[in-house]
Each structure stands twice: as structure tokens, then as C-alpha cells.
């Protein structure tokens, strides 16, 4: 069994509306020194595979098929034995 | 200027509907070996403060006031000089 951690980030050139909303909200609360807010996703799951290579490969496939949007997002994943 | 990275996680006892949806979606795609999916938030921003301690303190305050829901989420943050 392996634990997978995937960070899915919108590409830098693509506007992040949620980040912009947080920046504005922060300003309204008096935090004037906060900039460049980006909101990304961290997805964790367990995968039952024979080897770390197989786990990595399957997790990669799942990211490409379901978790990440290949048009505007990039992802990086890490595998740990549990 | 400091770069702040905040990971906001739903407490383990609280159901994560987005994670459940991914688990079901994965099953439909033929990934039967994926369990315990959790979807968390990773928020990054820059903060203009005099010291790392001050940056940490302000980022903590912002998390408590705006970014995290203290009823069902926990957060951890890291500060890096940029």
C-alpha cells in the first residue's frame, strides 16, 4: 500500500480568481501587504499496488484522466510506502 | 518579503465529499485500488513584513480570519524569505 500526495497547480499565466478574491478579502480586513495569492489543490490518497513504480504510474494516469485539467494545470506527485 | 505556504486540511473525522466523489470517479474509470481520498487546499502568497516572525504572525491571523474554517479545518504554514 502506498500513500500518494498530488499537488495540482494552475499554470502561472492563468488567472486564479479564487486567489484574487482572497487578495481583495485580505485588503478589506486590513492586510495591505499580501500579494500574489494562488489557491492550489492538494489531493492525498492510498493506492494498493505491488511496487512504488507501479503506484506512481497508476497515480499519474489517474491525475491525467480525472484529477488535473491538462489544459491549464500542472501536477507533481510523491509516493510513500505505508 | 516572505513567501507563505499554507496547507488547509479538513479534520479527519469530517467527511470529505469531494474526496468521495473522486473515489467513485476513479472506480468508474477502473481504478479499484484507490481509497481514502482527501482533497485539501494549498494557498500560497507573498507578504511584505519586517521579520519572519512578523510574517508568520500576520499569516496566522489571516488564516484564522479568512482562509480556514476553524470549526472543521486545521492549517499549517511555512515561511520562506524571498
- Which of A29, A47, A58 is nearest residue B65 as measured by Cβ atoms? A29
What residues of chain A, 28 to 67, have a C-beta less than 8 Å from chain B? 29, 31, 33-49, 58, 62, 65-67
Q: Searching chain B, which residue's CA lies closest to the CA of residue A54?
A: B33
Per-residue DSSP letters for A31-45? -TTEEEEEEEEEEEE
State the pLDDT at residue A53. 95
Q: Which residue has the cell 493506492?
A: A47
- Tell me which H or E stretch contains B18: helix B17-28
Residue A61 maps to which CATH number?
Answer: 3.30.1280.10
A26 vs B: CB within 8 A: yes
Residues 6+ apart with CB under 8 A from A29: B62, B65, B66
The rounded distance, in Å, linking the Cα atoms of B7 and B74 is 8
pLDDT tens digits for range B14-25: 999 999 999 999
- Tell me which H or E stretch contains A20: helix A17-28
**Pick from A6, A76, A51: nearest CA to B37:** A6
**Pick from B14, B32, B27, B17: nearest CA to B73:** B14
* Domain count within chain B: 1
Residues 6+ apart with CB under 8 A from A31: B58, B62
B17 vs A: CB within 8 A: no
State the pLDDT at residue B78. 95
pLDDT tens digits for range A16-65: 999 999 999 999 999 999 999 999 999 999 999 999 999 999 999 999 99
Q: Looking at this predicted complex, what is its ipTM?
A: 0.89
Question: Given an 8 Å threshold on Cβ–Cβ distance, is B45 in contact with A65?
Answer: no
Domain containing residue B37: 2-81
Q: Are A26 and B15 in contact (CB under 8 A)?
A: no
Amino acid at each position: 500500500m502506498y500513500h500518494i500526495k498530488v499537488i495540482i497547480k494552475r499554470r502561472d499565466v492563468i488567472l486564479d480568481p479564487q486567489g484574487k478574491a482572497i487578495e481583495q478579502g485580505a485588503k478589506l480586513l486590513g492586510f495591505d501587504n499580501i500579494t500574489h495569492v494562488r489557491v492550489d489543490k492538494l489531493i492525498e490518497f492510498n493506492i494498493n499496488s505491488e511496487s512504488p513504480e507501479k503506484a506512481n504510474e497508476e497515480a499519474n494516469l489517474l491525475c491525467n484522466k480525472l484529477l488535473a485539467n491538462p489544459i491549464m494545470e500542472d501536477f507533481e506527485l510523491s509516493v510513500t510506502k505505508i
